[in-house]
Structure 1
């Protein structure tokens, strides 16, 4: 685990985002990584599903050390953009996610921001660290049990 985290620490977005997409695919959650530099598609990654795709904002350690307020704001924008792109007039009930190298510090105020966003817009935002994705991958491989995607659709706060 530590060698994988160490190797990922210096990855820039162009390599970190595909790594995150590969980890989701490895745990059984189909994912599509957007093309870097495609300004018409601001969503970094989408967890695909026929009826309920989940947008994912990705932050490498070279961008920010840990998930921050700006990443949460972008996750909110991603949820709205995905609804607009798919032509839906209402938002799906699923969460919008942020995957970062590390979770936000406990005293960052992020928890309160997530509560405020859910109260104001009815949107849940989930946070997953790279370490947690690796832990899930290890668990899936050891137990042989598939990861339950529904955990992601209702996630609010850290996984």
Structure 2
């Protein structure tokens, strides 16, 4: 990047564009419409640098420079969403969009997990019903910022028998907030704490898709092309039709599956796993798409 910064603007711009579209192509995006321009940018890159270079402009360059390179404008006002579903879709039944993890997806756990979440829930397992436990814990977790909520999500997935790692803050090479690992695959997780947003929004869905693209592009962790990307938050989406349609659109256009999980359901399956000494199968979770719920 030091060499890039000293280049003249007429060279930097095509180099940045070449690198950006190369990342998209590696991630499986169809860039046929821009291929001719990309070839010109690659030629300039080879003439200036001597070879093609690969980096992410949106992580390496300042916003003002990005706007100059890609000819974009900053937003003039904030809005709740930049995605508007059709009116006809909102009238559809949501039943088909909801998925449940069934009995066949659980197996007997071979080891006992102990973490902060287990210490929270263990005293409640014998004395309270499932709904009471969820209510008590959800009330406790409702004030958690991301510093507490992200590790909590990691702890819950660990209780389910999954190998979940929380990404350190500020590490651009690990854009995802957490990742569930298997020996030959992984599931990136976008997490939203209740202090960030009470209900999972379309923003979380877009970021879950971005996580999948970056993971596929950088190949820093083993990740199968068609395994899911997860969005986990405090409450399920308030506008479920909007989120469901966006998930369907990403699936249709980019073949990326996004599964959405609220903490109520995570707590429910955690209670089931702890009470019955069960664990959740990675393969079943990796094939989910849509809103996971009862």
TM-score range, shorter chain: over 0.9
Q: Please tell me whether the aligned partners of residues 209 and 256 of structure 2 are also in contact (alpha carbons under 8 angstroms).
A: yes
Q: 1:66 aligns with which of 195, 199, 207?
A: 199
Distance 2:167 2:196 in 1: 17
- Residues matched between the structures, number: 158
Distance 1:16 1:87, change over 3 A: closer
Higher relative contact order (CA 8 A, sep 6+): 1
Matched, 1:42 2:186: no
Residue 148 of structure 1 and its aligned partner are, at CA, apart by 1.9
SS of match in other structure, 2:191: strand
Match of 2:279 among 110, 126, 146: 146
1:21 aligns with 2:154: yes
Summarize deviations over 1:66-113 as a string: whole Å, max 9, x none: 11010000000000111122169x952100000000111254411111
How far apart are residue 33 of structure 1 and its match? 0.1
What TM-score does the superposition give when structure 2 sets the normalisation length?
0.51
Q: Which of 71, 82, 103 is the aligned partner of 2:236?
A: 103
Across the aligned residues of Structure 1 and Structure 2, the Cα RMSD in angstroms comes to 1.7
Which residue does 2:264 correspond to in 1?
131
1:84 aligns with 2:217: yes
SS in 2 for 1:6: helix
Distance 1:108 1:22, change over 3 A: same
Query: How much does 1:39 deviate?
Result: 3.2
8 Å contact kept, 2:160–2:278: no
CA offsets per residue over residues 9-51 of structure 1, 9 Å max, x none? 1111111000000000011010100012323322100001121
Which one has the largest radius of gyration?
2
User: Residue 289 of structure 2 is aligned with which of 132, 156, 159?
Assistant: 156
Runs of 4+ more than 6 Å apart? none
Q: Structure 1 CA distance, aligned partners of 2:243 and 2:279? A: 30
Higher share of residues assigned helix: 2
The offset of 1:2, in angstroms, is: 1.4
1:87–1:42 CA distance, 2 compared to 1 (3 A): closer
CA deviation profile, 1:109-133 (whole Å, cap 9, x unmatched): 1111111000001011000111111
